[in-house]
Amino acid sequence: MQSSKDSFYLALRERLAALNPQRVVTINGVGRPAIIVAENEAVVPVEPLPDAFYIEWGEAKPAPRQESTTPLLQMECTISHHTLGSIESGVDRGRVLAELDSELLSICQPQKTAKRDYTHAPSVDLGTNVFWTVPEFGAVSGIVAHSNTSKRVRLERKARLTVFFFPEVTFQ
């Protein structure tokens, strides 16, 4: 299952780096594309970073209606993002959130990637693909964000999708 999650994450990260090289975050002094999987981080920021995508994994279960010795599995995925806007007054928050939404839709296309084992260097192709549904966007919400110097309203949104993959183990 971890190879499927890693393959999905790294595909989106590489696509974001190609689409918008300026969309980066710095965590633990290292700059990288602004896609974060909290469960993979040594230290998770207490307050989520603005203008970044956060991947959270839900439950994994067999996909419905199948009869096979190697069942197709599905895992729920939530990708959240928020912005304070690009200027202090925050009057452009809606535009910036729309840019983030558009980038998320773009990096999710095509809706598949090769499944690889990233515990080896170089990574190893596992011979199957990971594929997913189109993200379904939830409603926009506004939350007051406090900092040392100001109080601003951030706009945030969550998108949900389902990731499909074949397990690395054989069922009998």
**Domain map of the chain by residue range?**
2-165
Determine how many CB atoms are found less than 10 A away from the CB of residue 115: 22
Q: Which pLDDT score, from 0 to 100, does residue 16 have?
A: 98
| Residue 169 exposed, middle or buried by CB count within 10 Å (0-12, 13-18, 19+) | exposed
Identity of residue 42:
A
| Strand-pair partners of 132 | 163
Distance CA 124, CA 146 (A): 44
Distance CA 23, CA 12 (A): 13
Tell me the pLDDT band of 22, cut-offs 50, 70 and 90: very high
Q: Which pLDDT score, from 0 to 100, does residue 45 have?
A: 56
Tens of pLDDT, residues 92-117: 999 999 999 999 999 999 999 999 99
The fold adopted by the segment(s) 2-165 is: STM4215-like (3.30.2000)
pTM for this prediction: 0.90
| Share in percent of the chain as helix, strand, coil (round to 5) | 20, 40, 40
Kindly tell me if the per-residue pLDDT of 172 is higher than 60: no
The residue that leads in pLDDT, 105 or 143, is: 105
Q: What is the average pLDDT across 36-52?
A: 80
Q: Which pLDDT score, from 0 to 100, does residue 77 have?
A: 98
Tell me the pLDDT band of 79, cut-offs 50, 70 and 90: very high
C-beta separation of 89 from 99 below 8 A: no
In order of 2, 56, 164, the CA distances from 110 in angstroms are: 21, 20, 14
C-beta separation of 85 from 92 below 8 A: yes
